[in-house]
Each structure stands twice: as structure tokens, then as C-alpha cells.
Structure 1
Amino acid sequence: MDNFIWKALTIPVTLDKKIDYKGAFNLEPNALVFFDLDGTLLNQHSQVNPEVASAIHQLRENGSMPIIATGRTNIEVDEIMEMTGINSIVSMNGQHVTFDGEEVYASVLETAVLDRLKEATNERNEGLSFYSNRLIRCTRHNELLEKAYNMIHSPIPQIDESIYHREDIHMALVLAEAGDEYYHREFPELFFIRNSPFSMDTIVKGGSKAKGIEALIERLNFQNIPTFAFGDGRNDLEMFGAVKHPIAMGNAISDLKNVAEFVTTSNVEGGIITGLKKYDLI
């Protein structure tokens, strides 16, 4: 496959050739089903329940394609992908898309912008993490950072303040309990998503899970295939607008439930299985 990379805030690369995907289905999939992870596909321990993993395998056997759509980076979900058999991912809130192990879309934060963002967080005595598709690094260790990563049962990243000069960074994480308005005002070229009481996902303005999903569908020429999405949080709002059938978990925020076609049970009450059965996907 030819690599297709969109460097955000620069000129986008156009794609002349679409992928003719047959894959394990031997034909086009019956449906594309996108799954958020935390609070959706994962349980309260950030793990996939065995019965949910079994449902995902059944989904594939029935001819549909499961795809992860998460705020996490690729290296954080290896075990999840192995357990579920999912091999495609829209990661870092749509900033990096991998299909069957091949990169098909990427949005990269500019080094100069990250210089300013790091300076701002340092001045405010706040932390900053950098996310590439293969590693996570941070500017400092403190209690707030530990709370943010412990909340999603993720390892504490190593400190490396200059990693973004050597790696393409697709997403940053501002470690702060407040100050949302400050960052929105001072960095209009960025989009900040409050993902927990301790941190904000930080991506290029105009970026979202929806952007990554749309790039994937366009690249694979799957415009006429039914699309579904399961989610629970604020970073799933745009994703719900990019699919035909948005499904909110029972534990989802009210704003998401209000735009959902169907509200299933919670992530710890078999919500994924209930939703898939509702639409006869399993």
C-alpha cells in the first residue's frame, strides 16, 4: 500500500489511488463498526471482558469490520487488539489511522506550536505529554500526571522534553485540572478536549475521530457501507456525526445520549453485546 500522510497545518497530500480491500471477508464488509475504548469497549479495569471479545470475533465472522476509535495511541492498545482480533485503529482522536497494519492517515502537530505549548505549561507549573504512534513521553512527573494515567490503568511515561524534535507527534496531553479557557484563547490553532478531571487531549484544530474515520472510509472506498459507532465521552461527539448509526453507552455523557440513535446498557453491563444484537450484527 502507498502511504498517505496528511501533515496538519501544511498542504494535504491528495490520494490518486484507492485501496481495493477484500481482506479476510473475500468481499466488501457488511458494515464498519467503530468502538471507543475507555468507558465503552473496556470495563472499569480498562480490560476487555471475555464475552465482549467473543462478540467482536463473532462480528468479524458475520462479515462486519470492527475498528477501534480512541484517544489512546497505538502502543497502548496492542493487547486489546490481540484479544479482540481487531487490526485497524483510528487513534489519538483521529490523528493517526492504521488499516491492517498500514498507516493510511496522519496529522502531525508543528514543532513550533509544541515549543509554545511546552513553554506555557512550564510557566503554569503544569505538565505536558507527547504522543507519537510508537511512544509516549512527558515533561515532568507529578501527582496529577500519576492520577491521569492511573485512571486509565496506563504506565507512567518517561520524561523527555525534546522528543517532539525527533518524532512526529500526533497528539499532546495537557496535565491540568483547570485553565481550559486559557489554552483555548492562547492556542487557537489547537483543539483541547477535557478527557478527565486531570487532563486535556490536544490535537490540531479541526481534528477529531470523525476526521480520521472519514479519511479511512475515503481511502478504502467504503462510502456505501453502513457505519456504526459506540462511544461514551465528549471526544465521541464528532464521531457520532460521521456514522449512520451512533450508539451511546448507558454510562455516556448526556450530550452524547442526546444525539445517539440508540442508548444501550453501560460498558459493565454488556452494552456492546446489547448494541450489536440490537442491529443484528451478531
Structure 2
Amino acid sequence: MNIIFSDIDGTFQDLGADVAQINIDAVEALQKNQDKFVFVTGRGLEMVEELQEGSGLACDAIFANGAGLKKVGQVATYQNCLSIDTLERILPIIDAENILYFVHTTHEVLMHPVKQYNENLQNLRESLTYMGEQGISLMDYKTNYFEESCYHVTDIVAFLREHPDRDILKVELMEASDTKHQLLREKLKSSSVTVFTSFVKTLEIVHPLSSKGSAIQNYLKDYTDVTSFGFGDGENDLPMFEVVDVAVAVENATEHIKQSSHHQTVSCQEGGVGKFIFENILLHEQ
């Protein structure tokens, strides 16, 4: 059996675009062949389920960069979440730099009122002008997400202390300045969190044991005699590449990811995941 693990944003689905049809066809062909396809993503569960519904795909999903697992037909499970005490330590550091951030929990995505971040959003929009229409679409989507999909509170820590049923999956932030990105990495560096790049102008903060790599290792404990493949494009995919048998980078991946891969395929926009599956996995099984 083959088990294929794939990142979503920038790997399986291009920014602001529909999923390439060859990717959908490849997943369906794998499943007919009794192989498995698993999404491994920094997205929250709601956004993964939106993708699956829109593409008609029913797959297991490792989400929130390893903190959550949702198998088809089962309830989601969570592990290696952040503590409120950790949140109480790191959020003032981010607030002091006036950076837009949002906190993913098992129930909702929390953030301060969006009007607090109007200048941040404008700076982000200007920083993405090099992407043309794609950058505009991305910021339109993100702004709408912040306004319509997030739950707005003035004191995130206080809210979570009042609602102890919430597990804290990760903190995600968006910032136009690359200098501030590096500054935050230095200020947040500790044994209680891991910080990495996951998306355009985005940093994520997670529990040190919450990674795509550790989540995949746990997932594979239920299977024997399998060959595992991992598809990715960014820094948060490196832990996945370290544990799968075959690591594949799409053409638009960062240079570090490409150098850490065993194979490369065409870009996300061209359906690199599906093309590799058809030409290098399914073809060899016929």
C-alpha cells in the first residue's frame, strides 16, 4: 500500500485558485487502487472540510500543522496543544510589535476586532502587489475571513480561561515586514514553542511536538508494509520530508525544500501532485 501525504496551500491548491483537476483525479484513482491520500496542512479543520466538500474528496486530514487529526467517518482528535500559560507569555510579545494574529482553538478562531488591524491589512496588501491579481485575491479572501469567520474578543487569554473546554491548536500571524518576522522569531524562541513560516507573509507558533512529521509518524503506526510519500512547498513541510520514504517538492517550493526532497514535480498551479502520482506511483503499479 502507498500512503500519500500532501500539504494543501501552495502544493495541492494554488493561492486563490481552484484545485487542479488532475489532483482531484489522482486522489480518486489512488483510492480506487486501495491506496490512501492524506491532507497534511496548517489549515484549521473547517477550511480543510470546505476544500473536501468543494472538490468532492473524502480523505483523512492532519490539520493545524499536526495538532489535529480527522479520519473519514470519525470525530477529530487533538494532541500537543499550546497551554494558556504559554499563550499568556507569547501574546504580549506579539502585541508589543503591533502584529496581526489569530488563535486557532478546537471551537473557533479567536482574534481582536479587525478594525484594530486596518493599517496592518493595508501594509500586507501593499507588500503583495508583486503578486498582481493573485495578491489582491489573497488579501480580499483573508480580510473577509478575519471579518466574517473569526470570533472577535478584546482579551483572548481571559476568554480562554473562561472557556476551559477549548484546546489551543496554534497561533498564526501575518506581517508585511520580513524584518519583523525575524525579530519575532528571535523574541519567541524558547523550549515551549516552535515558530516557522507556513504561508505568504505568515508565521505559525505551535507546541514543539506539534509538527507534520510527528503527526505522520503517529498516523503510520496503524499501518504496516507501506510506502509513504510526502508533497510540500514550504518550511513547515520539512518535518514531513524527514519522516516519509519519498519526499516530493513542487516546482514553486522554496529552495530549501527542493534541496531536501528526493524528487521534484511541476508547480502547484500545473497540478504537480496529481502529475507525479499518475506518472510515478500509479503507473508503476499497473
- 1:106-145 matches, cutoff 5 A: 106-141=79-114, 142-143=117-118, 144=120
Match of 2:130 in 1: none
Q: CA deviation at 1:128?
A: 2.3
Q: CA deviation at 1:270?
A: 2.3
Q: CA deviation at 1:226?
A: 0.8
Match of 2:218 among 215, 232, 237: 215
More helix by share: 2
Using CA pairs under 8 Å that are at least 6 residues apart, name the structure with larger relative contact order, 1 or 2: 2
Match of 2:131 in 1: none
Match of 1:52 in 2: 23
Match of 1:266 in 2: 267
The runs of at least 4 aligned residues of structure 1 exceeding 6 Å deviation read none
Task: Tell me if structure 2 keeps the 8 A contact 1:105–1:216.
Answer: no
- CA deviation digits over 1:113-147, x for unaligned, max 9? 11122222222222321112442121242143574
- CA deviation digits over 1:92-120, x for unaligned, max 9? 11111222233344221100111122222
> How many pairs does the alignment contain?
251
Identity of aligned residues (%): 20
CA–CA distance in structure 1, aligned partners of residues 69 and 113 of structure 2: 28
CA–CA distance in structure 2, aligned partners of residues 159 and 116 of structure 1: 20
Could you say if the C-alpha distance between residues 279 and 84 of structure 1 is closer, same or farther in structure 2, counting changes exceeding 3 Å? farther
Match of 2:167 in 1: 168
Q: CA deviation at 1:217?
A: 1.4
CA–CA distance in structure 1, aligned partners of residues 250 and 226 of structure 2: 23
> What TM-score do you get using the length of structure 2 for normalisation?
0.79
Match of 2:134 in 1: none
Q: CA deviation at 1:173?
A: 1.1
SS in 1 for 2:259: helix
Match of 1:150 in 2: 138
- 1:1-282 matches, cutoff 5 A: 30-82=1-53, 83-100=55-72, 101-141=74-114, 142-143=117-118, 144=120, 147=124, 150-151=138-139, 153-154=141-142, 155-156=145-146, 157-160=150-153, 161-162=155-156, 163-165=159-161, 166=163, 167-176=166-175, 177=177, 178-188=180-190, 189-196=192-199, 198-218=201-221, 220=222, 222-281=223-282
Match of 1:3 in 2: none
For 2:49, the aligned partner's letter is D
Task: Tell me if structure 1 keeps the 8 A contact 2:103–2:172.
Answer: yes
> What TM-score do you get using the length of structure 1 for normalisation?
0.80
Query: Which stretches in structure 2 are left out of the alignment for 5+ residues?
Result: 126-136
CA–CA distance in structure 2, aligned partners of residues 214 and 105 of structure 1: 15
SS in 2 for 1:41: coil
- Which stretch of structure 1 is more off in the superposition, 33-42 or 184-193? 184-193
SS in 1 for 2:253: coil
SS in 1 for 2:110: strand
CA–CA distance in structure 2, aligned partners of residues 115 and 104 of structure 1: 24
Q: Please provide the CA RMSD for this pair.
A: 2.3
- Which stretch of structure 1 is more off in the superposition, 172-181 or 86-95? 172-181
Query: Which stretches in structure 1 are left out of the alignment for 5+ residues?
Result: 1-29
CA–CA distance in structure 2, aligned partners of residues 61 and 278 of structure 1: 16
CA–CA distance in structure 1, aligned partners of residues 77 and 151 of structure 2: 28
For 2:38, the aligned partner's letter is I
Task: Tell me if structure 2 keeps the 8 A contact 1:73–1:134.
Answer: no
- Which stretch of structure 1 is more off in the superposition, 98-107 or 162-171? 98-107
Q: CA deviation at 1:182?
A: 4.0
Task: Tell me if structure 1 keeps the 8 A contact 2:15–2:138.
Answer: no
For 1:70, the aligned partner's letter is T
